[in-house]
Amino acid sequence: MKAVIGLFIAAVLFIGSNSLFVVNEWETGVVFRLGEIVKSDLEPGLHLKTPFINNARTFDRRIQTMDSQPERYLTGELKNLEVDSYVKWRVSNVERFYTAMGGDFALADQRLSQIVKDGLRAQFGNRTVKQVVSGDRVEVAENITRLANVEATQFGIEIVDVRIKRIDLPRDISDSVYRRMEAERNRVAADLRSLGAEAAERLRADADRQRTVTIAEAYREAEQTRGEGDGQAAQIYSKAYGADKEFFSFYQSLNAYQESFSNKSDMIILDPSTDFFKHFNRSSN
């Protein structure tokens, strides 16, 4: 009897657990009847199903990331670029996702990766490096999102976003970029230095000019002042000396003698017949 009851309870529990299932908030549920989908897009919560006949599966409905390895792409001017991109996607139609992908997320990643790479190749091929790097990054991403979505819809997938994470130049090209940058900086440095030398030379030259001009102007003023003095003096002299020209000549001569013979070593050879010795002569004779 005990065994019968035990079995009965076990059976109840088994059936109960088989007729109930839980769909989490981040999931969506699908109910199959003998392999055929009968219900999809189940809301989160507790759900009922017929045991044995129905079975249920849940699928992650969150946004997934497909982050592929960086790949080389050729641009319009045949330059190689290393591009790292990622795709944000989610299951939009569970039924179709299940039929097309078997509900396999890894397989979906793989298929998306192929689609997106193909799209990127086409987009990059139409553009120059400059365009993809600076201008059209967003446009490229939007184009791919749109184009890839057409195919992805068939898999029950919605591509939320395609983003280009990195666009890098291959290593050897990077090196030449560095060399170019270096040369450019050297040019700027040389430019700055010579500009400095130029400015300095200008300043010096200007200072020298100012100095010369200042001194020349001072010289002019000085000569004018001197002339002024000379003129005034001449005027004073002529006014005073005009009083008696003959005496002036005599007086001036005497002054001149005094000044000329002021040194002991000056030697004068005198003739006794001069006027100075007129008394001298008379007494000796």
Partner 1 sequence: MAWNEPGKPGQDPWGNSGGSSGKKDEPKEPKKRSDQDIDELLKKAQQMFGGAGSKFNGGIGGIGGGAIFLIVLVVWLLSGIYIVDTAERGVVTRFGALVTETGPGPHWHIPYPIESVTKVNVDRIRTTEIGYRSDAQNRSGSVLAESLMLTRDENIVDVRIAVQYRVQSAGDYLFNVKDPDESLRASSESAIREIVGKNSMDFVLTQGRNEVVALVRELTQKNLDDYEAGLFITSVNLQDAQPPEQVQSAFADVVKAREDRERLINEAEAYANRILPQARGQAARIVEEARAYRDQVVSRAEGQADRFTSVVTEYKKSPEIMRERLYLDTMSTVLSNTSKVLMGAEGSNNIMYLPLDKMMGSGTGSNQSTLPLSPITGTGQNSSNNSNNSQTTSTPANQAKSETNIRDYLRQRELR
Q: Which of 83, 149, 144 is nearest to 118 (CA)?
A: 144
Nearest distance in Å: CB 34, partner 1 = 25
Positions 208 through 227 that interact with partner 1 (CB under 8 A):
208, 210-212, 214-215, 217-219, 221-226
Residue 276 engages partner 1 in binding (rule: CB under 8 A): yes
Of 161, 41, 160, 59, whose CA–CA distance to 101 is shortest?
59
Number of chain positions touching partner 1 (CB under 8 A):
115
User: Which residues, numbered 64-93, are part of the site for partner 1 (CB under 8 A)?
Assistant: 64-65, 67, 86, 88
Which residue of 41, 114, 177, 249 would you call a contact of partner 1, by CB under 8 A?
177
Binding part of the chain for partner 1, among 33-41, 44-52, 119-127, 144-152 by CB under 8 A, reads 44-52
Nearer to partner 1, 34 or 270 (CB): 270
| Residue 180: HSE in the Cβ half-sphere, 13 Å Cα cutoff | 6
- Degrees (nearest 5) of the Cα angle 57, 114, 27? 20
Among 239, 282, 283, 285, binds partner 1 (CB under 8 A): 239
The answer to whether the beta carbons of residues 171 and 81 sit under 8 Å apart is no
Q: Which of residues 157-176 bind partner 1 (CB under 8 A)?
A: 160-161, 163-169, 174-175
CA-wise closest residue to 32 among 8, 52, 12 = 52
Site residues (CB under 8 A) for partner 1, limited to 93-122: none
Strand 27-33 versus strand 45-48 pairing type: unpaired
